[in-house]
Amino acid sequence: MKVIELRMTVTSSNDRDAEELRSELKERGIFLVNLMSAPGSGKTTLLSRTITDLSGRAEIGVMEADIASDVDALRIAELGARSIQVHTDGMCHMDAGMTRAGLIEMEGERGIVFLENVGNLICPAEFDTGAHKNVMILSVPEGDDKPLKYPLMFRKSDALVITKTDAAPYFDFDTEAVKRRALALNPEIRIFPVSAKTGEGMEEWESWLLSEWEEWRNA
């Protein structure tokens, strides 16, 4: 497990860098999935369960992006999955240049690579990382008003995974309201309510992931 210290990429052309990175990754055989969420939404737990469930069906690598610490990368490495940790030097998001710098360290990697972006519902939505798919995670305890408060994140995401659904009886959380609000912002968004604890809903999310990966490979 590596720890890489990143500095913000000073570039006025992040969108072009992101497009270039997407082509580069196609050649390397890496399908990059950008996971975005607030702190504490359960990104790492969702990833751990997904890696375990898809063992034998997909090669999965993980790039953990954090301001500080390597607790997430250590959790992933314990599963035997290839993981690297990047530190963003205080930056609140990853951009394409930073993502590319991290991926250079994952030599020989193929298959699905998850970028676990910095825990933040705002800034990561503004920067294209070069990922092929953007996935947003919203956990039940955060509340069903989040599409109203962080609309850009919902607009930029291909899929929304609603996590910790097992805690729903404990919180006032209206899943139908979230679906309605998310779809109003982004009619194309796919929505997967899951519990990584009980396994409920995991299959639908994992099937979507595998089919998007296959479609990309055959494109």
Q: Which of 79, 141, 155, 201 binds a second copy (CB under 8 A)?
A: 141
Measure the CA–CA gap between 99 and 27, rounded to whole angstroms: 16
Q: What is the closest distance, in whole angstroms, from the C-beta atom of residue 145 to a second copy in the complex?
A: 5
- Does residue 5 interact with a second copy by CB under 8 A? no
CA–CA separation, 66 and 117 (whole Å): 7
Q: Which stretch binds a second copy (CB under 8 A): 51-59, 105-113, 150-158, 205-213?
A: 150-158
Closest CA to 119 of 155, 101, 140, 92: 92
Which of 146, 161, 186, 196 is the binder for a second copy (CB under 8 A)?
Answer: 146
Amino acid identity for residue 101 in this structure = A
111-116 and 133-139 as β-strands: parallel, antiparallel, unpaired?
unpaired
SS3 42: coil
- The answer to whether residue 43 forms part of the interface with a second copy (CB under 8 A) is no
Q: How far is the CB of 30 from a second copy (least distance, A)?
A: 26
Q: Does 69 bind a second copy (CB under 8 A)?
A: yes
**Cβ at position 107, least distance to a second copy in Å:** 27
By CB under 8 A, residue 120 contacts a second copy:
yes
Structure tokens at 218: 């055959």
Strand partners, 193: 162
* Nearest CB to a second copy, comparing residues 50 and 163: 163
- Contact with a second copy (CB under 8 A): which of 31, 114, 150, 205? 150
Q: Where are the beta strands (DSSP E) in 49-207?
A: 60-66, 82-87, 111-116, 133-139, 159-163, 190-193
- Residues near a second copy (CB under 8 A): 38-40, 66-69, 71, 90, 92, 118-123, 126, 139, 141-143, 145-146, 148-152, 164, 167, 170-171
